[in-house]
């Protein structure tokens, strides 16, 4: 599935109105798609807002409460009764990048074959960092394949090659990356800097993430507050 899930479909999904053969691929897509997960959270947030409305409005949406809890549990979204809370961001060295949709393989060098990159992407999805490194470490990657380079940097960190991870991140020119990859690359960089015993530099990156809204702002602020 490549298209985003419609709001009506997300409501049906949360309500348990869809058969398994329809809901299963939808849930799989939402797990790996930041935009659809955010939309799903919006469905849940709407229910929470309805609790503050007149009783008739609340009653009209009461069906949503148990269904949302079940769907959220399937997705691994943390719940505090009676409402959803923000997911906890893993600390940088434990963080795995979300792999959203297909990685652009169109610019794959002609002497390598796109199947290598597809295999590496699947290996990363399965959290097989060693296989990702074996497949990508010595492969030429073009600027259009920055996502693959980011996966490699993350995998290198997982295998204990912090300095190599930093080299791969430097080649990315992080400030020019589009979001959300720019902030995700910075979070991986914090982990690599820490693994390389470069804590002051890691804290500088954390301050940058804490200074603007994004998926790592709260985690970065928490990191800084613990220092």
In tens, the pLDDT along 81-131 reads: 333 334 567 889 889 998 865 444 334 444 445 688 889 999 999 999 999
> Quick count: other Cβ atoms within 10 Å of Cβ 74?
14
Q: Lowest-confidence range among 2-6, 63-67, 156-160?
A: 63-67
User: In Å, what is the CA distance from 70 to each residue of 13, 15, 182?
Assistant: 10, 9, 33
Q: Residue 170 is encoded by which pair of tokens?
A: 């430097």
Say yes or no: 76 and 114 in one domain. no
Q: Which of 58, 84, 110 is the last residue of a domain?
A: 84
Quote the number of domains for the chain. 2
In tens, the pLDDT along 152-203 reads: 999 999 999 999 999 999 998 888 888 888 999 999 999 999 999 999 999 9
Q: Report pTM.
A: 0.60
CATH number at residue 186: 1.25.40
Say yes or no: 12 and 123 in one domain. no
- The burial class, CB within 10 Å (0-12 / 13-18 / 19+), for 30 is buried
Q: Is 150 left (phi over 0), alpha (psi -120 to 50) or beta?
A: alpha
The Cα–Cα gap between 118 and 111 comes to: 15
First to last CA, the chain: 43
Evaluate if residue 20 carries a pLDDT over 80.
Answer: no
Q: Which of 84, 106, 138 is the last residue of a domain?
A: 84
The Cα–Cα gap between 206 and 117 comes to: 31
Say yes or no: 188 and 205 in one domain. yes
Asked if residue 1 is part of any domain, the answer here is: no
The Cα–Cα gap between 116 and 190 comes to: 28
């Amino acid at each position: 599935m490549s298209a985003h899930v419609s709001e009506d479909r997300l409501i049906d999904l949360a309500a348990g109105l869809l058969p398994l053969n329809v809901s299963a691929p939808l849930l799989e897509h939402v797990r790996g798609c930041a935009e659809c997960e955010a939309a799903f959270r919006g469905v849940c947030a709407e229910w929470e807002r309805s609790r503050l409305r007149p009783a008739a409005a609340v009653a009209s949406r009461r069906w949503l409460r148990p269904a949302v809890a079940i769907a959220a549990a399937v997705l691994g979204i943390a719940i505090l009764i009676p409402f959803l809370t923000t997911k906890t961001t893993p600390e940088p060295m434990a963080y795995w990048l979300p792999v959203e949709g297909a990685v652009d393989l169109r610019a794959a060098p002609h002497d390598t074959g796109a199947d290598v990159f597809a295999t590496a992407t699947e290996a990363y999805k399965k959290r097989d960092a060693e296989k990702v490194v074996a497949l990508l470490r010595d492969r030429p990657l073009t600027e259009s394949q920055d996502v693959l380079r980011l996966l490699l940097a993350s995998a290198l960190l997982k295998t204990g090659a912090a300095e190599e991870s930093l080299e791969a991140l430097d080649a990315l020119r992080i400030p020019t990356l589009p979001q959300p990859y720019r902030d995700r690359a910075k979070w991986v960089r914090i982990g690599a800097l820490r693994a390389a015993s470069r804590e002051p530099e890691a804290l500088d990156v954390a301050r940058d993430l804490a200074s603007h809204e994004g998926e790592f702002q709260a985690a970065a602020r928490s990191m800084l507050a613990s220092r």
